[in-house]
Amino acid sequence: MTAVDPAQSSVPPPVPPPPDILERLVSLCKQRGFVFPSSEIYGGINALYDYGPLGTRLRRNIRNAWWRRMIDLRDDVEAVESSIIMNPNVWVASGHVQNFTDPLVDCTGKCRKRWRADHVEAERRARGKDPAQVLCPECDGALTEARQFNLMFKTFLGPVEEAAAQVYLRPETAQGMFVNFGNVLNATRRRLPFGIAQQGRSFRNEISPGNFVFRLREFEQMEMEYFCEPGSDRELLDYWCKERLDWFVEDLGVRRAQLRLRAHDAEELSHYSSGTYDVEYLFPFGWGELEGIADRTDFDLKQHAQHSGKDLAYFDPTTNQRFLPYVVETAVGVDRIFITMLIDAYDEEEVRGEKRVVLRLHPDMAPYQVAVLPLSKKPELSAKAREVQGLIRGQLATEYDETQSIGRRYRRQDEIGTPLAVTVDFDTLQDQAVTIRERDGMTQVRVPLTELAAALGEQLDVMRRRAAERAAGRASAG
């Protein structure tokens, strides 16, 4: 496989995240309203989560950033939204009914837990046990032989629960693009190469979910299938690896040093792939997949043509040839990006003898860009602060907060990553000026209200540049 990760040598080595960062983030997420356990008042449900007000905003920013880079800024990618439940033959043709399985082993000892056979070694290592011993990572009990377990959720379509009515919740969004290849081609009169992309929920009955929202049973994917001429796929695979890696660094502000591109070796390759790279991030539990970029050849179109009996060939009017396009796929999960961004942005420092927690999120990705804070709850200050919020609302995502002491409100905004805060005080009523406080250096400047929008724009630009430097590894944190 070609080396497509040339930048790695010019960035500093990765810094392992603090081992307890997930616990810290789980509590911050719950307390501040990023993530709640699903149906929590009933005791929750394993590997399912709900996103709160801030989490919903961050996820929306992630989806928008992907949409912008993959669709809006390009001429060659169309979007679709396909149904979650599809004709079950789709999953026969795709190979999921046959192959979408993980090897499962049961503990026969004390704890009786179920494990993914290929995770036992890492799970033992994570618990400080000898990874070479093939025993239960929890209680050292003996494990059963591995058997294959299909990860697709089954349900029934219509009122009769019989085998003929059995359908699946989609385990990936990709097949929605393949089965619509002909429709999109006819509707858009596209020429190769072009992509079809989709954002949407997927479902997998994972054997060992966990690590917060890293591995869920219901999650959201953003996938793109790039259809191309056979023979151009290798070069496009390299192109998309670089493009996707750059997106994490440039648009999301994830530190390059904490990312790597890893090629799958022959045993690891999926049944459909002739070459796959993973964009990986250094999580507290080790390197983990964020995004997969795969050369799927003409596997999927060939399978669907065969199983559906429909001709899915592409006609090239310049050569008068008909052929099945090859496909390079990019597949990433919103929830994994979400947890990656929180880990990557999380920082603690001591300020005047007190611990300060800051999320150093890219200013365009933070749930809010500007907090508007009246110094106190006095009605005249509240009214003025609402007026100030009105000046910037619509251009920037703003939050209004007048609940606690100003110091505590600054700390809260630091913890949720808000880049800028605008404080309205009693002087504002006289001099028509406000204070802008910036998250990273906690510097403050006073600006007249007439110049507020411009000043916020300039400060955000500075923070964008700083985020770019931090992500590229050209500056220390902050």
| Residue 23: DSSP 8-state | H
E strands, 231-367, are 259-263, 275-283, 286-297, 314-316, 321-323, 326-333, 346-351, 354-359
Q: Which stretch binds ligand ATP (CB under 6 A): 189-197, 300-308, 330-338, 369-377?
A: 330-338
Assess 215 for contact with ligand ATP (CB under 6 A): yes
Query: Under the phi-then-psi rule, with left for phi > 0, alpha for psi from -120 to 50, and beta for the rest, what region is 432?
Result: left
Q: If binding is defined by CB under 6 A, does position 78 make contact with ligand ATP? A: no
219 binds ligand ATP (CB under 6 A): yes
Binding mask 278-297 for ligand ATP (x = CB under 6 A): -----------xxxx-----
Nearer to ligand ATP, 201 or 322 (CB): 201
| Region near ligand ATP per CB under 6 A, out of 142-150, 162-170, 258-266, 327-335 | 327-335
User: Which residue carries 């050292």 as its tokens?
Assistant: 140
Q: How far is the CB of 47 from ligand ATP (least distance, A)?
A: 8
Could you tell me the two tokens for 359? 């999320």
- Minimum CB separation of residue 339 from ligand ATP in Å reads 9
User: Does the footprint of ligand ATP cover residue 300 (CB under 6 A)?
Assistant: no
Rounded least distance, CB 121 to ligand ATP, Å: 15
Residues 110-129, one symbol each (x = binds ligand ATP by CB under 6 A, - = not), give --------------------
Shortest reach from residue 212's CB to ligand ATP, in Å:
10
**Given 82, 94, 173, 221, the residue binding ligand ATP (CB under 6 A):** 221
216 in contact with ligand ATP (CB under 6 A): yes
Question: What is the strand order of the sheet 370-374 is part of?
Answer: 398-400, 370-374, 420-424, 433-438, 444-448
> Using an 8 Å Cβ cutoff, are 192 and 200 in contact?
no
Q: Tell me which residue has its CB nearest to ligand ATP.
A: 333
Cα Rg for the chain, rounded, in angstroms?
Answer: 25
Residue 181 CB, nearest distance to ligand ATP (Å)? 20
Cα 53 to chain centroid, rounded: 17
| Helix/strand/coil for 27 | helix
Contact status: 332 vs ligand ATP (CB under 6 A): yes
Contact between 136 and 143 under an 8 Å Cβ cutoff? The reply is yes
335 binds ligand ATP, rule: CB under 6 A: yes
Among 124, 256, 296, 336, binds ligand ATP (CB under 6 A): 336
- Whole-number Cα distances in Å, 194 to 10, 74, 263, 314: 33, 10, 24, 12
Identify which of residues 34 and 219 has a Cβ nearer to ligand ATP in the complex: 219
Say whether residue 250 binds ligand ATP (CB under 6 A): no
The nearest distance, CB 130 to ligand ATP, in angstroms, is 24
Beta bridge partners of 222: 199, 332
Binding of ligand ATP at residue 200 (CB under 6 A)? no
Nearer to ligand ATP, 292 or 417 (CB): 292
- Residues between 170 and 199 with contacts to ligand ATP, criterion CB under 6 A: 172
Nearer to ligand ATP by Cβ, of 136 and 332: the residue is 332
Q: Which of 391, 387, 359, 385 is nearest to 372 (CA)?
A: 385
CA angle 447, 448, 453 (to 5 degrees): 80
Residue 284, exposed/middle/buried by CB under 10 A (0-12, 13-18, 19+)?
middle
Residue 217 · residue 48 · CB < 8 Å: yes
DSSP code for 60: H
Residue type, 408: R
To ligand ATP, the closest distance from the beta carbon of 297 in angstroms equals 16
> What minimum distance in Å lies between the beta carbon of 188 and ligand ATP?
26
Query: Strands 420-424 and 370-374, how do they pair?
Result: parallel
Interacting residue with ligand ATP among 333, 363, 367, 417 (CB under 6 A):
333
168 lines the binding site for ligand ATP (CB under 6 A) = no
Closest approach, Cβ 361 to ligand ATP, in A, equals 19
Q: Is 204 in the site for ligand ATP (CB under 6 A)?
A: yes
Min separation Cβ 270 and ligand ATP, Å: 8
Dihedral over Cα of 376, 380, 386, 388: its sign: negative
Contact residues for ligand ATP, defined by CB under 6 A: 172, 204, 206, 215-216, 219, 221, 289-292, 331-333, 335-336
